[in-house]
Structure 1
Amino acid sequence: MRARVLVAEDDIKQAEAIRLYLEREGYIAQLVHDGRAALDEVRRRRPDLLVLDVMMPVVDGLDVCRVLRRESDVPVLMLTARSTEEDLLLGLDLGADDYLTKPYSPRELMARIRTLLRRTRAAAGTPDDPVLRIGALALDPVRRTVEIEGRRVACTPGEFEVLATMAADPERVFTRRQLLARTRGDNRYITERTIDVHILNLRKKIEAVPREPVYLRTVYGVGYCLTDGTRAR
């Protein structure tokens, strides 16, 4: 089945160029030109991927991402002319799975799209994978769900990949670079601070006291590890 990609870009010429490249790659492409239309289409037709420009009329891309993450786990690739690290990390903090700064090459854009779709489909196509249980934390790599003490936790695809990597090898200490390599491949544009943002967001979702984590622990000078929550603080 061909993947459906929704492109939210207010520059009509740019949007049409992306559509042509997507269709050349064999994807089904749909275009919208403002943030409200993007929200409506995600809710109506649930695409496999959203390519989301930050600077859009009516509702900007950051607000679109903020709203979507309360109701959807659709992968989001954000396009932005804002090149500072703070701006890029803000997008990730709001739930974007990847970002690409303008100007960009169409080949790189297609590579990012392929990577996100491949990662999402690979996780969904492993029916024999068991539910991973670490203490009161349960992670299902097939359904891509996370529960803590029986309560469902909504995670972005990026957060899920980080948590799934650590849940597959609990108690192991992962460096930021190792987590990047396992969840982002060789994408040189993603920094190690991306992992810090994902860990911070995950702690808010699964830890009773995020500032005193018992599951997602920091190993100072090294990185992070996932424990069963029973170690003394």
Structure 2
Amino acid sequence: MHERIYIVEDDPNIRDIVKAYLTKEGYQVTVLGDAEAAWAYQEQEQPEMWILDIMLPGMDGYELCKRIREKSDVPIIIISAKDEEVDKILGLELGGDDYLTKPFSPRELVARVKRLFKRVNLKPEKEAAEVLTMGPLEVKHEDRRVFWHKEEVDVTQKEYDLIYHLIQHQNRAFSREELLTLIWGDDYFGSDRAVDDLVKRLRKKMEGLPVETVWGYGYRLRQEGNQ
């Protein structure tokens, strides 16, 4: 196990404890005290995961999370002293994959790091060469690429997961709760607004994409000619 993890945290005690636990598990850990230094550092070497504190001096963790997500789908765990639902939603909608509230157990953080790496790296071989199409929509599962009217669309990891699940089951309505579990995992307890945000972003990137809202329930990808 040699995955690189960047920890951005201004509290040296938390930095040292988290680094010690993750290093013991075999991860390569770099600790940084502010977002500006972290952003400059990642230009030299990209990590396989970020762990971001929200309340940082200067640029905050939300802004750093947003910048990272604009360039990469690397997993991001957000940690914060805030426990308001709106903060969790904001962090996850900006591209975070998981959220921990301080004070937290270092063992719990290690467990979440392992689960997140496992979820990201789990790619069944039987699906490796899968290509799914529906009208002008094409999803190439081998390299996780999406095409709309033969033009490649730049999608994030979670946007891809959503469109892949929907095109696998065309015309089937998924509840928001089902989609939360499929995309974020069964240990996610945040708001289903995160699903609405993903759908909104996909509709913006692929104008005319037939993702229908099933009012009071969820969403479905409707095949042309089916009502």
TM-score, normalised relative to structure 2:
0.88
Are residues 1:220 and 2:215 paired? yes
Where structure 2 has 5 or more consecutive residues not aligned to the other structure, the ranges are: none
Question: Could you tell me which residue of structure 1 aligns to residue 143 of structure 2?
Answer: 143
Residues 181, 188 of structure 2: 8 Å contact kept? no
Are residues 1:98 and 2:93 paired? no
Q: Secondary structure at the match of 1:70?
A: helix
Are residues 1:111 and 2:102 paired? no
Q: Secondary structure at the match of 1:69?
A: helix
Question: CA 1:88/1:163 → structure 2, altered by over 3 Å: closer, same or farther?
Answer: same
For 1:53 and 1:217, how far apart are their aligned partners in 2? 36
Question: Could you tell me which residue of structure 1 aligns to residue 195 of structure 2?
Answer: 195
For 1:204 and 1:32, how far apart are their aligned partners in 2? 35
Question: CA 1:202/1:101 → structure 2, altered by over 3 Å: closer, same or farther?
Answer: farther
* % identical aligned pairs: 34
For 2:160 and 2:98, how far apart are their aligned partners in 1? 14
Q: What residue identity is the alignment partner of 1:215? A: P
Where structure 1 has 5 or more consecutive residues not aligned to the other structure, the ranges are: none
For 1:61 and 1:118, how far apart are their aligned partners in 2? 24
Residues 89, 190 of structure 2: 8 Å contact kept? no
Q: Residue deviations 1:160-197, cap 9 Å, x none?
A: 22222222222211111211222233215333232222
Residues 5, 48 of structure 1: 8 Å contact kept? yes
Q: CA RMSD in A?
A: 2.4
Q: Secondary structure at the match of 1:123?
A: coil
Question: Could you tell me which residue of structure 2 aligns to residue 131 of structure 1?
Answer: 131
Matched residues, number: 227
Q: Secondary structure at the match of 1:51?
A: strand
Q: Secondary structure at the match of 2:59?
A: coil
Question: Could you tell me which residue of structure 1 aligns to residue 78 of structure 2?
Answer: 78
Residues 88, 190 of structure 2: 8 Å contact kept? no
Q: What residue identity is the alignment partner of 1:9? A: E
For 1:231 and 1:85, how far apart are their aligned partners in 2? 40
Q: What residue identity is the alignment partner of 2:194? A: T
Residues 73, 155 of structure 1: 8 Å contact kept? no
For 1:97 and 1:151, how far apart are their aligned partners in 2? 28
Residues 51, 79 of structure 2: 8 Å contact kept? yes
Are residues 1:166 and 2:139 paired? no
Q: Secondary structure at the match of 1:139?
A: strand
Question: Could you tell me which residue of structure 1 aligns to residue 180 of structure 2?
Answer: 180
| The 10-residue stretch of structure 1 (96-105 or 179-188) with the greater mean CA deviation from structure 2 | 179-188
TM-score, normalised relative to structure 1:
0.86
> How many angstroms does 1:53 deviate by?
1.1
